[in-house]
Structure 1
Amino acid sequence: MFFQKLFTSYKINQCEIKNRFVVPAMVTNLCDEDGNITEAFIKYHEAKARGGFGLIITEDYGVNPNGVGYQNCARLYDESQVAANQRLTDTVHMYGAKMFAQVFHPGRQTSSAVNGGVQPVAAARIPDAFNREVPHELTIPEIHQLVAEFANTARLMKKSGFDGIELHLAHGYLLAGFLSTRQNRRTDEYGGCFENRIRIVEEIYHAMRAEVGPDFPLTARVSLTEDTVDGRQMQETMMIVKHLEKLGFDGLNLSNGEYTSYAPELISSTFTAKGYNVENAKRVHEFVNIPTIVANGINDPAMAETVLEQAACDFVGMARASLADPDMPRKAARGQLSSINYCIRCLQGCEGSLLEGKHVRCLVNPELGHETEYTFEQNPESKNVLVIGGGPAGMEAAIAATRQGHEVTLWEQRNELGGEFVSAIYPPAKGEYANFLVFLNHQMKALNINVVLNQTATVENVKEFNADKIIVATGGNPNKPNLSGIDAGNIHFANDVLLGREPIEGEIVVVGGGEVGTETAMYLADAERGHVTIIEMTGDIDAGLLRTVPTKRLFRDHEVTIITHAKVKQFNNNAVVIDYNGQDERIAADEIVLAMGYHADNELLKSLQSQLDNVACAGDVIEPTNALEASTSGFKAGYYA
């Protein structure tokens, strides 16, 4: 495919950027606890620069020790921090990429648990729904101090070699809070009318501009809408962007929403339409005369090219796409689109890991966040490696071991690769997940890995194979409770239903409201198989990170019944008997689907480990978790084979 626009250069102020690929800001948690730059932080950005991205925008830098949303976020407020940041920008510049630094203050969207024990601050004393701490309302002297801190950080950023600065005015953070009446309830000169609410932005802009000069790019990140009950919509956004242009900003990075809202488009999952922001971004692009960037759910170079062809923007932000494959621009330039490791918008590593206080990871790219560890520079002695199991863990193990120079054979007892992940691609809003299996299969073929399908492993034939290293990745099996009536003909496992092995319809009961159960219920409801009831023993269903709310919307539209705090007692006479509030209740069921978790398929592993000393393991055979942990542990096992 020929890309006419993606690989043309374009300027922001006097900064010429070699192509239209942009990495927008994303939190990594790769700095130290004081926000200082680490080698891991540098290597993370180097991978994207080496991969061909024209402009890389750092995560949001704090302007003081406490102005962060995560404990390990970057900060730049002291001269002593310049040298490390200079190493960062020097590294990125080696590849011809440009680097802007994003500067922000989290406002109420932080907590004293991660910001050094300080009460969050905001335009007004309104807590957000996630962090829940009532913020301190900034006084006017405190606002003036904050303006000075932004100016100081801008000075240090220019001194550190950054090519530009992006001021964060989006996503519900402090400055977005001043701009929006959703947060700003002040009655002084920083609240009320538009002129007052934008005053702090004007003061910060002028203070920063005085430090960096007229030829240094200053851009702003803006939410197009906030998608909340009283949040900003497009007409007011048009006021803001025109004002920012007149003020002197050199470009706009157009995003959407605010954190802690139910808006679907801020962090794009597979429930969000790809390119969700493009139409509104085009309105802004046609209205202003400064360069614009648009992001959100654009993870394919072909789509990025068409967005540019529509004149919707000047640059395309491909944030999570760059996590999945930092080499995307280079591959696109060569026409190697089928070799791209496409982001599947699962959010398990890029968001889920951060919420657990860990550094950024990626389900489809286990090297992310481990760039200093997985260097492939050790050149270990070549071994004969046998991988048992062809799910994501086994495939990642085989790929990593082969890249390390080992001779690898993979045995899979089924007639296809993919393991339990195959059934995971069938529910609604999961079609993009197929890209992961496509990429893994492509890698297996490209690396010429010997794959033997329909091969059952036993202790005897594994010993006979005589491998130098054995990696067992046999995964897990679905749980089957020991209850009366469990062997009835109308009881099915969820994966058999999803794969169409056992078509069902009528009055359907799904036992288990976790991710597998809710996705199976979605699959059945969306296919109009009948009335679906979910039985969950806890207080709520859990469809996975940022998926529960849109899943409940689908259930509402399809009249799916959800019964929580219910424990299944037995199955009989086309019914499920449950204990509900201490009383037995009978739920009619023509068909019953079990989604009650998994247990490790580890008998072979235990037998091999008791007789051999060269056996490693990966994935759910250790403990059933999720695909992120499976791919992570599989790659690690293969790398250290």
Structure 2
Amino acid sequence: MDVIFQPLDVRNLTFKNRIFRSNIAGRFDNYDGSGNQARINWELKFARAGVGAIISSFVPVTIQGRIVPNYATIHRDEHVAFWRELGKRVHEHDCRYIMQLSHSGRQRDIRGVEHAVSLSSTAEPESLHGFECEAMTVGQIGQTVEAFAHGARRAAEAGLDGVELHGANGYLITQFLSSAINDRTDDYGGSLENRARFLREIVAAIRAEVGPEFHLQVKISTTEYNNDVFPWESKGNTVSDSAQVCKWLEDDGVDAIHVSAGAMFPHPRNPAGDMPLEALEANYGSLLSSGKHTHRNMWMFRRWPFRNIFRWRWTRAHRGRIDGINLADAAAIKAAVSIPVICTGGFQTASVIRDAITAGKCDAVSIARPLIANNDLVELFAAGHDRPPKPCTYCNKCLVNTPNNPLGCYEQARFDSHDEMIAEVMSVFEPRPFESQPAQR
């Protein structure tokens, strides 16, 4: 059997193949954090097309911890029923569903009406957009640890297959782990062991809440490349730092590690590819009121030569090597732990995935943009294609459209017409949750 389609056993779970849909979704849900039919439609696109597992998009464990409004949360018991229905529908296609438990910390792109102060490991604003924050007190750290544990308990009550802690890409757990961000002088800052304390306390609290059998994995930016945009900043954690953290996590009862990169999101290496400044400029206005540097950024995006310098600085990090960009780090983590390792990073070539698994660099891969471009990517691999006939171009137009528009592929060159592209983007709203009845005479 092709190794891509060999089942993967992860302690208490079996995945039917080695391709996972990575954590991605749009603003499909209700403003109060409750879910709706559009999100179910979105997840079913990938479940029907044969992925072995879906990792949900960022699911906040508190309403103050969301990145933007209109993402379904898990901060209330009343939300369990929605997630139970979603999980049931996904399971009908022999697909596992892993909820990604998350907290934005200071990296909150669009603030909700609650306007609560963003909490972080630090009081320093985020460097790219200037998102402001306050350093968490020890009491607030304890409350947040408890919120993660309750989120895991609700996911288990919903009948989902497990949870993933989002410890990557600049969100709250990264803000504690990172040597470039965490400037605390208490027990949660300084040494690597102290910086990992927050994450390890979350793991312990989840295990105390749901027991040892419920699947728990952690996503981590194994190399942070914190200076990829601003070269005068600290590099942040290295893969050696992360290998030690992953060893501790294995000892603490974590079932799998999900390898990513970058100390913020978006980051030149995640999602690696182009930075479409015209589309970015059209959508960046949604963030203007959220950070100290957003007006500066908009000014740069509009003016030569600053826009060209920014684009060059952004795209130089990957130098065209996108398909499997994080495999070297995944191999290093795989050598450090005995639990399975999942790797993300632009995968859309079957031979690249096959070689990575066969060589022992990872046990499975997670995919986002190439699956948005080709929902049937797994079926194409099964039919013998090494790459899809119309591959993802890594243009990142999907990324920059998400603050304002439904998530989908916005690369018109992949479609026969603009209307065809829009029809595919809008297909997430079918079937509709409500149909009006004909007027009665």
Asked whether the two chains share a fold, i.e. TM above 0.5, the reply is yes
1:235 aligns with 2:264: no
Contact 1:66–1:115 (Cα < 8 Å) also in 2: no
Query: Quick one: structure 1 residues 635 and 77, their matched pair in 2 at CA, closer, same or farther if it must change by over 3 Å?
Result: closer
Contact 1:331–1:340 (Cα < 8 Å) also in 2: no
| Number of the residue aligned with 1:632 | 422
| Number of the residue aligned with 1:352 | 400
Deviations 1:320-344 (A, max 9, x none): 1111112111222122557654211
Aligned-partner SS, 2:360:
coil
| Number of the residue aligned with 1:244 | 249
Within the candidate set 282, 307, 310, 2:331 is matched to 282
What is the alpha-carbon root mean square deviation over aligned residues?
2.2
| Number of the residue aligned with 1:334 | 383
Within the candidate set 258, 264, 272, 1:253 is matched to 258
- Distance in 1, matches of 2:349 and 2:118, equals 38
- What is the identity, as a one-letter code, of the residue corresponding to 1:126? E
1:302 aligns with 2:351: yes
- Distance in 2, matches of 1:191 and 1:295, equals 28
Within the candidate set 78, 90, 98, 2:88 is matched to 90
- The number of residues matched between the two structures is 375
| Number of the residue aligned with 1:24 | 22
Within the candidate set 268, 271, 287, 1:264 is matched to 268
| Number of the residue aligned with 1:105 | 103
Aligned-partner SS, 1:66:
helix
Shift of 1:630: 7.9
Aligned-partner SS, 1:304:
helix
- Distance in 2, matches of 1:104 and 1:346, equals 26
| Number of the residue aligned with 1:134 | 132
1:220 aligns with 2:218: yes
Query: Quick one: structure 1 residues 163 and 32, their matched pair in 2 at CA, closer, same or farther if it must change by over 3 Å?
Result: same
Within the candidate set 163, 166, 169, 2:167 is matched to 169
Contact 2:99–2:162 (Cα < 8 Å) also in 1: yes
Contact 1:299–1:320 (Cα < 8 Å) also in 2: no
Shift of 1:247: 1.5
Query: Quick one: structure 1 residues 6 and 117, their matched pair in 2 at CA, closer, same or farther if it must change by over 3 Å?
Result: same
Shift of 1:301: 2.2
- Distance in 2, matches of 1:191 and 1:300, equals 41
- Distance in 1, matches of 2:375 and 2:355, equals 21
1:144 aligns with 2:139: no
Once the two structures are superposed, the pairs formed by residues 224-623 of structure 1 within 5 Å of their partners are 224-228=222-226, 229-230=233-234, 231-259=236-264, 264-269=268-273, 271=315, 272=318, 273=321, 274-336=323-385, 340-349=389-398, 351-355=399-403, 357-363=404-410, 436=414, 619=418
- Distance in 1, matches of 2:329 and 2:164, equals 20
Aligned-partner SS, 1:224:
strand
- Distance in 1, matches of 2:361 and 2:256, equals 14
Query: Quick one: structure 1 residues 193 and 634, their matched pair in 2 at CA, closer, same or farther if it must change by over 3 Å?
Result: closer
Deviations 1:214-249 (A, max 9, x none): 111110001011112321112211211111111111
Aligned-partner SS, 1:154:
helix
Shift of 1:66: 1.6
- Distance in 1, matches of 2:126 and 2:133, equals 9
- Distance in 1, matches of 2:25 and 2:260, equals 15
Gaps of 5+ in 2: 227-232, 275-314, 427-441
- Distance in 1, matches of 2:425 and 2:215, equals 40
Aligned-partner SS, 2:357:
helix
- Distance in 1, matches of 2:202 and 2:104, equals 15
- What is the identity, as a one-letter code, of the residue corresponding to 1:353? N
| Number of the residue aligned with 2:436 | none
Deviations 1:96-147 (A, max 9, x none): 0001000011111015633631111100101113442320111111111111
Aligned-partner SS, 1:6:
helix
| Number of the residue aligned with 1:14 | 12
Deviations 1:568-627 (A, max 9, x none): xxxxxxxxxxxxxxxxxxxxxxxxxxxxxxxxxxxxxxxxxxxxxxxxxx74xxxxxxxx
Aligned-partner SS, 1:313:
coil
- What is the identity, as a one-letter code, of the residue corresponding to 1:246? D
Query: Quick one: structure 1 residues 236 and 253, their matched pair in 2 at CA, closer, same or farther if it must change by over 3 Å?
Result: same
Query: Quick one: structure 1 residues 359 and 631, their matched pair in 2 at CA, closer, same or farther if it must change by over 3 Å?
Result: closer
Contact 2:75–2:151 (Cα < 8 Å) also in 1: yes
Shift of 1:165: 0.5
| Number of the residue aligned with 1:379 | none
Query: Quick one: structure 1 residues 152 and 260, their matched pair in 2 at CA, closer, same or farther if it must change by over 3 Å?
Result: closer
1:204 aligns with 2:208: no
Gaps of 5+ in 1: 365-391, 393-420, 422-435, 441-617, 620-628, 637-641
Deviations 1:404-445 (A, max 9, x none): xxxxxxxxxxxxxxxxx5xxxxxxxxxxxxxx37xx6xxxxx
1:46 aligns with 2:38: no
Query: Quick one: structure 1 residues 199 and 115, their matched pair in 2 at CA, closer, same or farther if it must change by over 3 Å?
Result: farther
- Distance in 2, matches of 1:338 and 1:284, equals 27
- What is the identity, as a one-letter code, of the residue corresponding to 1:52? G
Query: Quick one: structure 1 residues 635 and 37, their matched pair in 2 at CA, closer, same or farther if it must change by over 3 Å?
Result: closer
- Distance in 1, matches of 2:425 and 2:187, equals 56
Specify which structure has the higher proportion of strand.
1
- Distance in 2, matches of 1:64 and 1:55, equals 25
Range moving further from structure 2, 127-136 or 173-182? 127-136
- What is the identity, as a one-letter code, of the residue corresponding to 1:253? H
- Distance in 2, matches of 1:634 and 1:187, equals 51
- What is the identity, as a one-letter code, of the residue corresponding to 2:335? E
Contact 2:167–2:219 (Cα < 8 Å) also in 1: yes
* Structure ID, larger Rg: 1
Specify which structure has the higher proportion of helix.
2
Within the candidate set 2, 25, 31, 1:33 is matched to 31
Identity over the aligned pairs, expressed in percent? 28
Deviations 1:289-321 (A, max 9, x none): 000100112122232112212211000111111
Query: Quick one: structure 1 residues 98 and 77, their matched pair in 2 at CA, closer, same or farther if it must change by over 3 Å?
Result: same
Q: Normalising by structure 1, what TM-score?
A: 0.56
- Distance in 2, matches of 1:34 and 1:123, equals 26
User: Which structure carries more relative contact order (alpha carbon 8 Å, separation 6+)?
Assistant: 2
